[in-house]
Amino acid sequence: MTDYKSLMLQAQEARKKSYSPYSHFCVGAALLTKSGKIYTGCNIENAAYTPTNCAERTAIFKAVSEGERDFEAMAIVGGRANEKGGFCAPCGVCRQVISEFCEKDFEIVLGDEEDLKVYKLSELLPFSFSKNDL
């Protein structure tokens, strides 16, 4: 049984590193590989706005760039800088990037450590377009 509470705590730790001087909205993510490693990420904003990278993609890109491609679950937490992080559903771009590397049963853990909600990728991105469609 995967310990999603500790995965969420790691997402909250990662959220502390958020670089979000424009939106003041801080997001953290913790990505669990099938081999049991955890890669974390935060959102990283940019003065030109569109180069901003979400926390989820930071975590995935860190992992893939280290040779990891088999993923089990990801915890995500977000909220305004001056508030405790909580439920933050991944944006559409991040859902698509997750779907590039993860199966339909990949689990996405939202909320906070006291109140975790677990969703399958197929629930958050139904009728997805993937490499199987090419």
Q: Is 45 a catalytic residue?
A: no
Cα end-to-end span (Å), the chain: 35
Residues 95-134 that bind ligand THU (CB under 6 A): none
Residues 6+ apart with CB under 8 A from 28: 11, 12, 13, 14, 15, 16, 17, 18, 40, 41, 42, 55, 76, 77, 78, 85
* Count of residues that interact with ligand THU, criterion CB under 6 A: 13
Nearer to ligand THU, 32 or 88 (CB): 88
Q: Which helix (H) or strand (E) holds 18?
A: none
Q: What dihedral angle (degrees, nearest 10) is formed by the CA atoms of 127, 49, 41, 24?
A: -110
Q: Which of 91, 103, 115, 117 binds ligand THU (CB under 6 A)?
A: 91
Subset of residues 12 to 71 that bind ligand THU, contact rule: CB under 6 A: 20, 23, 25, 27, 43, 45, 52, 54-56
Closer by beta carbon to ligand THU, 27 or else 32? 27
Q: Is 85 an interacting residue with respect to ligand THU (CB under 6 A)?
A: no
Residue tagged active-site, from 13, 45, 56, 100: 56
Query: Is there a contact between 79 and 89 (Cβ–Cβ < 8 Å)?
Result: no
Active site residues per annotation? 56
Q: In the complex, which residues of this chain contact ligand THU (CB under 6 A)? A: 20, 23, 25, 27, 43, 45, 52, 54-56, 90-91, 94
